[in-house]
Structure formats: structure tokens, C-alpha cells
Amino acid sequence: MNSKNTERPFDLIVFGASGFTGRLIAETLQNGAGDGLKWALAGRSLAKLSEVRALIGAADGLPLIAADANDSASMAQLVGQTRVLISTVGPYQLHGEKLVLACAETGTDYVDLCGEPGWMQQMIPRLAAPAQTSGARIVFSCGFDSIPFELGVLFLQDAALRRFGKPLQRVRGRVRVMKGGMSGGTVASALATFEQIGRNPALQRVLTDPFALTPGFRGPEQPEGDSATYDLQAGSWTGPFIMAPINTKNVHRSNALLGHPWGQDFEYDERMLTGDGPRGEKRARAMARNARIQNVLLGFGPARALLRRFFLPKPGQGPSLQQREAGRYEILFSGETDDRQALSASVCGDRDPGYGSTSKMIVQAAICLAKECSSAVTAGGVWTPGAAMGMTLVQRLQTHAGMRFEIGN
């Protein structure tokens, strides 16, 4: 029997609510996004959850649930109480397995902020069968990695199919503005990934393979993204973009999950715009050099220890409200069909990407599953946001999350 048919006391539970991003998600729900929903906060410490409830101005009656990510029975009990579970407890490769398995087995829809392709590759085959049986929709990567990029491509391709009657065979994602940093959780996940590579060197191939999340399918050779290159279409030099290794995988996975509407020869890459002329070239080459140095340094345990000690935010820490509201980002997408018809689009966000915008994105993804994407529309399984919710989520993000998706030429 599909356990999604069982009545549950909550529409939505935020797990990891005492962390910095978890608190922002709770605040987003409290400030109106959660209106009409039955929701609760969950985490290891009821005392810390109570502090969060007070900080966000919620009533004392907002339910709090103690749960331990390392205890399978605790996770099963937690997820059995809700229709949708938001997880912010990363790195997911260290703390996420029992929770997501419980969701898959009990028919609980799940969204997270995962940008850890090695862990995702391992979990997708393990989760697929139980999620399909129970009806659970498991949706990874519902924050800055990778919603603006994956849905940006989806939005552009949707317009191309309507305008040209065919998809864009080649798409470029170019980050023009990114004011505000990535979250400490993203950096912590990267450090955990490098530690896993030390134990399992084969993981390095997963990180560099654009089709690592499309089991059973391999597309054509993809554009190289590690060096400084000049982009004629953008009129700018470009350097490597640190999040491309996860975003490109999710874009190709969406194409595969949707049945390859963009073609099996689809090409996609992401880069950072650095400007035209000698100054832009200098910045692009420095960015490429720094990326190589960073990868070497992160391979050493002492370097990772220094990053954790001196640069990572401590638990519960992050940018101020003023800093979050001053942040923004703009991503440009351009592409051509196989007969050289061109189209472009942009995706913009009104808050810093790693915290302010991410908290709104994941909330809208969860609400979209709960309210608008019924199990009759999206069956149980392991999905990307675009493949599970598509243009419905794009509209929600524009209406409720301060994001703009616009077609150019």
C-alpha cells in the first residue's frame, strides 16, 4: 500500500532548524510562506529549537520535534509525521543517509540543499525502488545549487521548443553577478568530499564526469571548463565557476529524467564572466590558476583543517540580515539549435545566493510538492527540481521567492 495515502499531522517539517540556514527557512515560513500549512521544526535539541521559535517570532504553539539523524528509528518516526520533509543537515554524505532512506521507505516527499554528487550518485540507485513503491518524491539540490541553473536551462529550452519547435542543442550558462557568498554548508560539503576522495580515489572520476548522475546514459564530450577562455557570444573572458561540477550534472540528469527533450547530443557548460579586454583576461587566468591551486590544497588534510578552523562559519553563524539583503545574482543563458537559431535568457535573484535566496528556493520547492505537484503528476522516485516540478516551480519562484526568469532575444 502506498503510504502517501495515510493522513499525517504535518504538511511540512524543517529538519535541522537550529542551524543557520534552517533558521532562515523557518523564518521564511513564519513570514508568510507557511500560511495555510501545518508545519513544525525538528532537530537534535528541543532547547535550541525553542530558541529558534522565539527568534523567528513564532507562537509558542509551533510544534517542535526532537530527532537524531544518526538513529534510523528516530528518522522513521520523524518522517512518518509529515507529507514533505526539508533537510538542511549537511554534509549529507555524513549525516543524510538515514533520513532520506526513511523518506523513501515511508512515502514522504523530501527536499534538500545537497551539492555532493558523489553521495547523490551512491544514493540514487538505493532510493529509486523504495521511492517508486512508496510514492515518495526525493528531490536533491533545491538551493542555489542547482535551482537557478537547472531551471534556467529548463526555462530557456521551454521557450525554444515553443518558438522554434526544436530544442537548443548547445547551451551556455554564464554567471554575470554573484554578490554574497556560498553557504558554510556548501564549503563543509566540499571539504567532506575531498576527504572521501582520500579514502576512495575513484570518486574523483565522479566529480569530473558530467553524466555521473545519469546512470545508463552517456552523452557527447562536453565543453572544457577549467581554463580561461574568451566567450564570443557573451563578449567576455570567462573563468571556471566553482559550482559547475554539480550544476552541470543536475542539468544533464533533468534532460535524462524528462526523456531527453533537449536531445541526446545536448551540450552544456557553466563559467564565470570576468569582462572584456586585458583586464578581463587577467582575471579569468587568475581564476583558473586559483581553482587549480585550491584543488591541490584541498587534497591535503592540514589545509582542510585550517579552513575549518579559521574560515568556515561556526554552527549557527552566517551573514547578517543587511548582508543577505544586499546580495544578489544574475546568470545568463544562451544557446543555439542544430540549425543555428539562437535564444537567450537570464535568471536573477534578489538576495545573497547561499543563504537569503536559497532559503526561499527550498521553501517554494517543498510547498510546490505539497500543494501543486500531486503524485498523479510526479510519481515516486529520485528527481531534480526541474524534472519533478518544472515550469510550475519556475512560476512559484517568480511569485514568492524574489527570482526573475526572462527571455532575451
313 and 164 housed in the same domain: yes
Whether 182 and 152 have beta carbons less than 8 Å apart is answered as no
Note whether residue 37 is domain-resident: yes
Q: List the CATH number of the domain containing 91.
A: 3.40.50.720
176 and 57 housed in the same domain: no
225 and 173 housed in the same domain: yes
- The residue range of the domain holding 171 is 147-353
Other C-beta atoms lying within 10 Å of the C-beta of residue 14: 32
158 and 226 housed in the same domain: yes
> In the predicted model, what is the mean pLDDT of residues 65-76?
97
Give yes or no for residue 214 having a pLDDT over 70: yes
348 and 366 housed in the same domain: no
Question: Exposed (0-12), middle (13-18) or buried (19+): which is 185, by Cβ within 10 Å?
Answer: buried
Answer with the one of 336, 353, 370 that is the final residue of a domain. 353
Position 63 scores a pLDDT of: 98
Note whether residue 90 is domain-resident: yes
> In the predicted model, what is the mean pLDDT of residues 59-85?
97
Note whether residue 64 is domain-resident: yes
Note whether residue 130 is domain-resident: yes
Position 1 scores a pLDDT of: 37
178 and 306 housed in the same domain: yes
How many whole angstroms separate alpha carbon 308 and alpha carbon 304? Answer: 6
Going by DSSP bridges, is the β-strand pair 109-112/137-139 parallel, antiparallel, or unpaired?
A: parallel
Mean per-residue pLDDT over the chain, rounded? 90
Position 183 scores a pLDDT of: 61
Per the structure, the count of domains in the chain is 2
Answer with the one of 312, 328, 353 that is the final residue of a domain. 353
Q: How confident is the model at residue 322 (pLDDT cuts 50, 70, 90)?
A: confident
Q: pLDDT tens across 131-179, in order?
A: 999 999 999 999 999 999 999 999 999 999 999 999 999 999 999 999 9
Note whether residue 52 is domain-resident: yes
76 and 48 housed in the same domain: yes
Position 301 scores a pLDDT of: 59
> In the predicted model, what is the mean pLDDT of residues 328-344?
97
Of the candidates 367, 382, 129, the residue with the CA atom closest to the CA atom of residue 250 = 382
Give yes or no for residue 2 having a pLDDT over 50: no
Under 8 Å CB-to-CB from 124, ≥6 apart: which residues? 213, 215, 382
Position 187 scores a pLDDT of: 67
Sign of CA dihedral 156, 189, 139, 23: negative
Give 225 or 275, the one with higher predicted confidence.
275
Give yes or no for residue 28 having a pLDDT over 50: yes
Of the candidates 389, 390, 367, the residue with the CA atom closest to the CA atom of residue 84 = 367
Question: Exposed (0-12), middle (13-18) or buried (19+): which is 266, by Cβ within 10 Å?
Answer: buried
DSSP one-letter code for 4: G
**What is this structure's pTM?**
0.93
360 and 348 housed in the same domain: no
338 and 192 housed in the same domain: yes
162 and 134 housed in the same domain: no
> In the predicted model, what is the mean pLDDT of residues 302-314?
58
Note whether residue 409 is domain-resident: no
Note whether residue 407 is domain-resident: no
232 and 128 housed in the same domain: no
Note whether residue 408 is domain-resident: no
207 and 223 housed in the same domain: yes
